[in-house]
Amino acid sequence: MILKSVKQEYISLLTNIRGYFQDSHDSIHKARNEIKILDFENQKLVVKAFKVPNFINKIVYTFFRGTKAKKSYENSIRISQFVPQAIGYIEFRKFGLLSDSYFVSEQFVYDFTIREVITGADFQDRETIFKELAKFTFLLHEDGILHKDYSPGNILIKVNDSGYEFKIVDINRMEFKDLNVDERLKNFSQLWAKDNDLKIIIDAYSALINQDKDTCFAKAVAYSQKHKDRKNFKKRLKGRAVVD
């Protein structure tokens, strides 16, 4: 067993996380991995249980590469201002190899994700929210943060007195480096935004990076369309409906 926590008070939670997770019936996501909300000492926490890897990946994650739970924790500590506060992570092993692993963070009570704004043509104040998204993404990029799954469901937004507060989640896949203009613009492609909406975002972003807005928009649209074409091609192969 390997565990690490920000505070000593959460050690008992982590060491008994399997029981807490099983007892919680508040599941908010269940696919390859599962995410649940649980109560611990009058605090709402979010627990992400990572899928038990296959035999080859058990070897890889045990001896050669940090687990997704570990990466989620370490990335959260590194970019703490942009994410819900990390609590800790724990890995369990069986016969010397990685079995199950968990990452725990505080619950960020958000009002909506950027997905609802992108898909809702009549969403209130959507143009302002798009411009605020551009600012938030700019701050990420300026800090050398490239979220490699910058998809709509991973961008959480809370309405507060000063406007809109953004947080990102699902951060085990990240890269930290100085980003050039093309890498920055390509990062918006996973939003799956319509061209008119993407223009609002990119016009605001290009002003922040002091680049020509028309050139930036043309590149951003090309990256966005390429991403959509690739995803839709995979859907066709699987016999699933494509999305514009």
At residue 104, φ and ψ (nearest 5 deg) are -120, 135
Q: State whether 89 and 117 are in the same domain.
A: no
Residues 94 and 37 in one domain: yes
Residue 53 pLDDT: 87
Residue 120: pLDDT over 70: yes
The DSSP 8-state label assigned to residue 241 in this structure reads P
pLDDT 10s digits, 159-183: 999 899 999 999 999 999 999 999 9
210 — pLDDT class (breaks 50, 70, 90): very high
Number of domains making up the chain: 2
The answer to the question of residue 243 being in a domain is no
Q: Which of 106, 134, 155 is the last residue of a domain?
A: 106
Q: Are residues 226 and 134 in the same domain?
A: yes
What's the mean pLDDT in 117-144?
97
Cα dihedral 177→149→203→167 (10° resolution): -90
- Whether 94 and 184 share a structural domain: no
Q: What is the pLDDT of residues 53-86, one digit of tens each?
A: 888 888 888 888 899 999 999 999 999 999 999 9
Q: pLDDT value at position 231?
A: 75
d(CA 132, CA 201): 8
pTM of the model: 0.92
120/44 same-domain check: no
- The long-range contacts involving 24-27, CB below 8 angstroms and separated by at least 24 positions, are none
Q: Which amino acid is at 105?
A: S
Residue 242 pLDDT greater than 60, yes or no: no
Is the sign of the CA dihedral 6, 94, 171, 20 positive or negative?
Answer: negative
Residue 163: left (phi > 0), alpha (psi -120 to 50), or beta?
left
| Tokens encoding 233 | 């091609």
Full domain range(s) for residue 209 = 112-237
pLDDT at 241: 60
Query: Which residue, 72, 106, 140, sits at the end of a domain?
Result: 106
- pLDDT at residue number 31: 85
Buried b (16+ CB within 10 A) or exposed e, 160-197: eeeebebbbbbbbebeeeebeeeebbbbbbbbbbeeeb
Sequence-ordered alpha helix ranges (H) in 3-119? 11-15, 17-23, 55-63, 68-78, 114-119
pLDDT in tens, 12-42: 999 999 999 999 999 998 888 999 999 999 9
Q: Are residue 68 and residue 128 in the same domain, yes or no? A: no
Could you say which of 52, 74, 106 is where a domain stops? Answer: 106
